[in-house]
Amino acid sequence: MSENETGKSAIWGGRFAGGPSQLMQDINASISYDKKLYRQDIAGSKAHASMLAAKGILTAQDEAAIHQGLTTIEQEINAGEFTFQESLEDIHMNVETRLSELIGDAARRLHTARSRNDQVATDLRLWLRDRIDEIDTALAHLQTALLHQAEAHAATLMPGFTHLQTAQPVTFGFHLMAYVEMIGRDRGRMRDCRARVNESPLGAAALAGTSFPIDRHMTAQTLGFARPMENAMDAVSSRDFAVEFLSTAAICATHLSRLAEEIVIWSTDRFGFISLSDAFTTGSSIMPQKRNPDAAELVRAKPGRIMGALITLLTVLKGLPLAYGKDMQEDKEPVFDAEANLMLAVTAMTGMIADMKAKPEAMAEALKAGHPTATDLADFMVRELAMPFRDAHHASGSIVALADEKGCTLEELSFDEMAAVEPRLTADVMGFLSVEGAAAARTSFGGTAPVEVLRQIAAARKNYQLS
């Protein structure tokens, strides 16, 4: 910490006779990571200075000097010419100290009617608001990539799975559209979170407001916030907006991880439903034949870090009394790390989806196993023979067992063989056992029929404003 000639802290003033130990400086400093907030800190200081001047608390000359000095500091940081000092603890004191060097006493008036408590809360909200906007844009790009693949494969047949076993025939486009909807809900949660992020703590000061005649609505408007926060103590001590972001990020990362796992499965030799190019795969140091889906595997792993960030912040806040505690300095690193990893995962997934090549022949071959039209056989009995579904289910299962015994598909059984199991069947049943017919018949809203998949694609374009 910077000290004057008497050994007292330049930050703490006259309260302390000496400076802290080096160990205290090490645990107390946050500049190594909160320097990321410099743009937000400077913007908040400019808004605060303008408000103080508008209320007659600062002179116009001081306001002009502060704005000019802060602009210079931002230029220095952008150019890599600014020296961040750990002894000054955080981004706020690093900027304020440099401002004092540039403009003198006017800089020391800037902190009137505010505290580092409301300053840091304001900075983090501004930073997170911008990042949420960037994440939303990235998620929209991912939806668009999924949409384009879904449109190209609206009629490409593949097995639909439950318990990772063949269930019913679906289309590849239908499968991908499920993720378009998942990501759409992620975007909705991000927008909901942004609305609660977008409230201004500035002017709450340390915890109780200030006796100066400030205008918190003015600073909120200047910084693009929807409103100032109603309660000063809540403004400086709440981090639920960051928890909400981490929760939303964890849900989104989980969706990405599920899709990543499918990419891993689909690209294996056993499935071969898709292929990825060299851009998103790696080789082996010992096995020359290998093409490993490492990008997908890493996306699959990212929820571990993001969920960890969520638990970290919840644990920091658990049992923390109002208002501000130094514990809350631990809020930023998990948020920064989660945001960076989520953005990386979204961007990588977008690249993989755009890059992947479907293999319809392999998907069609997979439909020959697992009797995917067994449900259609049961539905035929219900619809055409007026059988109760449970009876039809039993009869269909018996016919499946016969096909297993003979080592063939349902389509390959003769009508006589099926009628021997269920005498009430008619020859019309033979037209209901193809995978093409089974998929095309599922025209219910949200179903897998190609015509319905195309409707879903058009709806998604409209609902999510996608190209």
In this structure, how many other beta carbons lie within 10 angstroms of the beta carbon of residue 87? 19
- Would you state the torsion angle of the CA atoms of residues 141, 142, 145, 150, taken in this order, to the nearest 10 degrees? -130
Position of tokens 């269920």?
A: 422
CA distance 420 to 414: 10
In this structure, how many other beta carbons lie within 10 angstroms of the beta carbon of residue 401? 12
Annotation marks residue 284 as catalytic: yes
CA 367 to chain centre: 34
Residue from 433, 434, 451 nearest 442 by CA? 451
Catalytic residue among 2, 32, 277, 284: 284
Catalytic residue among 21, 163, 211, 285: 163
Annotation marks residue 163 as catalytic: yes
Max CA separation in the chain (angstroms)? 104
Q: For residue 456, give every residue at least 6 positions away whose Cβ sits within 8 Å of its Cβ, in sequence order, or none.
A: 174, 177, 446
- Asked if residues 435 and 372 have their Cβ atoms less than 8 Å apart, the reply is yes
Q: Are strands 227-228 and 274-275 parallel, antiparallel or unpaired?
A: unpaired
Burial per residue of 126-159, b for 16 or more beta-carbon CB atoms within 10 angstroms, e otherwise? bbbbebbeebeebbbbbbbbbbbbbbebbbbbbb
Residues counted in the chain: 467
Helix, strand, coil distribution of the chain in percent, nearest 5:
65, 5, 30
Enumerate the active-site residues.
Answer: 163, 284
